[in-house]
Amino acid sequence: MRYSGARVILEGLRGQRGWRPAWREPAPKSDYDIVIIGGGGHGLSTAYYLAREHGAKSVAVLERGWLGSGNIGRNTTIVRANYYLPGNSEFYSHSLKMWEGLERELNYNVMHSQRGLINLFHSDGQRDAFARRGNAMANQGDDAILLDRDGVRKHLPYLDFDNPRFPVYGGLLHPRGGTARHDAVAWGYARAADRRGVDLIQNCEVTGIDVQNGRVTGLQTTRGSIRAKKVGIVVAGRSSQVAAMAGLRLPIESHVLQAFVTEGLKPVINHVVSFGMGHFYISQSDKGGLVFGGDIDFYPSYAQRGNLPMAEHVMEAAMTLMPVIGQARVLRSWGGIMDMTPDGSPIIDKTGIDGLYIDCGWNYGGFKAVPASGFAFAHLIAQDRPHRIAERFRLDRFTTGRGLMDEEGTGAQHNLH
Ligand SMILES: Cc1cc2nc3c(=O)[nH]c(=O)nc-3n(C[C@H](O)[C@H](O)[C@H](O)COP(=O)(O)OP(=O)(O)OC[C@H]3O[C@@H](n4cnc5c(N)ncnc54)[C@H](O)[C@@H]3O)c2cc1C
């Protein structure tokens, strides 16, 4: 069934009786050509592009919970292409272009809203760094406008411009940056993959990876054994645990990232805004809630909930940047498990085991990567060679030290990226 405005009107007239479930609920088969572990954004998009781009006919996605129960449904929905380093910048640029055609491609409203993103700076040194980043973005073919203090004031009049510690000097505006509705992205890819014959199997936890003579042969799951010629691991915060099932040790630490939303308010924040002196960012959802977040919790954890010290830190940053937020009531907070690499950049690569591939290390920025990551990972699995947009996301950079992409310039400490 294609979705359209005409369909919505038609269903309205006939009592909404014609809608069908957006995807099937198949039982797992005993055998697939390709199995993807993880029904998050990256796993679902990988399965979709395997079918769409490479004509794969026998593909399953195994998800331990329900589709979209992980970080894809927990993030703060920011989509941008403002990276600086070669490797990252062309990849995220490609991803943003894919976002721009995604709703038509999937026939699904993911509410992609290019409302513009402004990164604030608060010193001369930061201005130089953002000017350099803006130039790199422009060289990449993306958009960047350096705003002075008055330029920022025009867009964001509610900020505290004269905070004694962190006065606002200006900002880097990325007009094509914005947001998208996170769980709709999971649902859109799920529906589109299902329509191309992919089996989406929920409540199916992978508990073991079978390897014989250096080659993957199948999986053990809570719904039985499944044979597979190729397996892709795409489990975000659980990457180390699942890779360990095949005897692999990954350069990943898992940390919790929290987010917060206030009660619904009239429109006040038109952009995505990020504070340059603390890790704080904010936007307003279409329902009116102010959605914001900050740093990851500094200690490793697999708990999908955050802790109070970081909640306090984020609130302090919010009050420093825009004291007006003190009038809003926080409705709820939540957490997701981040797969942090030591250089803050992702991994899309083969493992040392034939037929076993891995896509992980998205840190706290993998939502915007969903289209390009699935596209590149599908290419790697289908063709056994990396796609050019992701060829620098190699696993061995952490053993050789060559090709590290430390975007934040913070060194080899997972929790600082
Ligand atoms: C609070 C927060 C804010 C964020 N904000 C942004 C943002 O604004 N912009 C941005 O770009 N990124 C953001 N991110 C990061 C982004 O959400 C993640 O990088 C991205 O969603 C990770 O990829 P995924 O969607 O595939 O992960 P997930 O949705 O977590 O998918 C992994 C799936 O694997 C499943 N799984 C795990 N183990 C097994 C197993 N053994 N068997 C079967 N299935 C298994 C899990 O249940 C899960 O559904 C944020 C994250 C959080 C938590």
Longest dimension (CA), the chain: 65
Name the band, by pLDDT with cuts 50, 70 and 90, for residue 214: very high
> Based on the domain organization, do 320 and 391 belong to the same domain?
no
With b for 16 or more beta-carbon neighbours within 10 A and e for fewer, the 231-263 pattern comes to bbbbbbbbbbebbebbebebbbbbbbbbbbbbe
Q: Is residue 108 situated within a structural domain?
A: no
Q: Which residue has the tokens 């329900």?
A: 66
Name the band, by pLDDT with cuts 50, 70 and 90, for residue 331: very high
CATH of the domain at 205: 3.50.50.60
Q: Is residue 94 situated within a structural domain?
A: no
Residue 197 near residue 155 (C-beta atoms within 8 A): no
> Based on the domain organization, do 368 and 300 belong to the same domain?
no
> Based on the domain organization, do 169 and 274 belong to the same domain?
yes
Name the band, by pLDDT with cuts 50, 70 and 90, for residue 306: confident
Q: Is residue 291 situated within a structural domain?
A: yes
Total count of domains within the chain: 2
Distance 21 CA to ligand 1 centre (A): 24
> Based on the domain organization, do 40 and 143 belong to the same domain?
no
Q: Is residue 27 situated within a structural domain?
A: yes
> Based on the domain organization, do 220 and 269 belong to the same domain?
no
DSSP string, 263-323: ---SS---SEEEETTTTEEEEE-TTS-EEEEEEEEEEE---SS--HHHHHHHHHHHHHH-G
Give this prediction's pTM. Answer: 0.97
Q: Best substitution site from 367, 373, 375, 417 to test ligand 1's pocket, by max atoms within 8 Å of Cβ?
A: 367
Distance 175 CA to ligand 1 centre (A): 26
Q: Is residue 84 situated within a structural domain?
A: no
* Alpha carbon 394 to chain centroid, angstroms: 19
Domain boundary at 312, 340, 368, which? 340
Q: What does the alpha-carbon distance between residue 57 and residue 53 come to, in Å, rounded to a whole number?
A: 11
Please write the tens of the pLDDT for every residue from 218-261.
999 999 999 999 999 999 999 999 999 999 999 999 999 999 99
Which CA distances in Å does 290 have to 256, 268, 281, 317? 20, 9, 10, 14
Please write the tens of the pLDDT for every residue from 13-68.
999 999 999 999 999 999 999 999 999 999 999 999 999 999 999 999 999 999 99
Residue 277 pLDDT greater than 90, yes or no:
no
Q: Can you list the pairs that 99-107 forms with residues at least 24 positions away whose Cβ atoms lie under 8 Å? A: 99/180, 99/368, 99/371, 100/176, 102/180, 102/185, 102/188, 102/371, 103/188, 105/192, 106/188, 106/189, 106/191, 106/192, 107/2, 107/3, 107/192
How high is the pLDDT of residue 278? 80
Q: Is residue 101 situated within a structural domain?
A: no
Please write the tens of the pLDDT for every residue from 110-122.
999 999 999 999 9
Q: Best substitution site from 64, 71, 206, 219 to test ligand 1's pocket, by max atoms within 8 Å of Cβ?
A: 71
> Based on the domain organization, do 127 and 150 belong to the same domain?
yes
Distance 247 CA to ligand 1 centre (A): 23
Q: Is residue 351 situated within a structural domain?
A: yes
Q: Is residue 164 situated within a structural domain?
A: yes
Residue 276 pLDDT greater than 90, yes or no:
no
Residue 172 near residue 127 (C-beta atoms within 8 A): no
> Based on the domain organization, do 159 and 286 belong to the same domain?
yes
Mean pLDDT over 353-382 rounds to: 98
CATH of the domain at 151: 3.30.9.10
Closest ligand 1 atom to 245 CA:
41
Measuring from each residue's beta carbon to the nearest atom of ligand 1, which residues come in under 6 Å?
37-43, 62-65, 69-72, 74-78, 205-206, 234-236, 238, 242, 257-259, 293, 336, 362, 364-368
Q: Give φ, ψ of 227 to 5 degrees.
A: -85, 145
> Based on the domain organization, do 21 and 163 belong to the same domain?
no
Domain boundary at 316, 340, 364, which? 340
> Based on the domain organization, do 66 and 214 belong to the same domain?
yes
Q: Best substitution site from 44, 48, 75, 368 to test ligand 1's pocket, by max atoms within 8 Å of Cβ?
A: 75
> Based on the domain organization, do 407 and 292 belong to the same domain?
no
Domain boundary at 340, 372, 399, which? 340
> Based on the domain organization, do 311 and 373 belong to the same domain?
no
Residue 279 pLDDT greater than 90, yes or no:
no
**What is the identity of the amino acid at 9?**
I
Local structure of residue 325 (DSSP, 8 states): G
How high is the pLDDT of residue 409? 87
For residue 314, what are the domain limits?
114-178+254-340
Q: What is the β-pairing status of strands 330-340 and 145-148?
A: unpaired
The angle that helices 370-383 and 88-100 make with each other, rounded to 10 degrees, is 110
> Based on the domain organization, do 209 and 326 belong to the same domain?
no
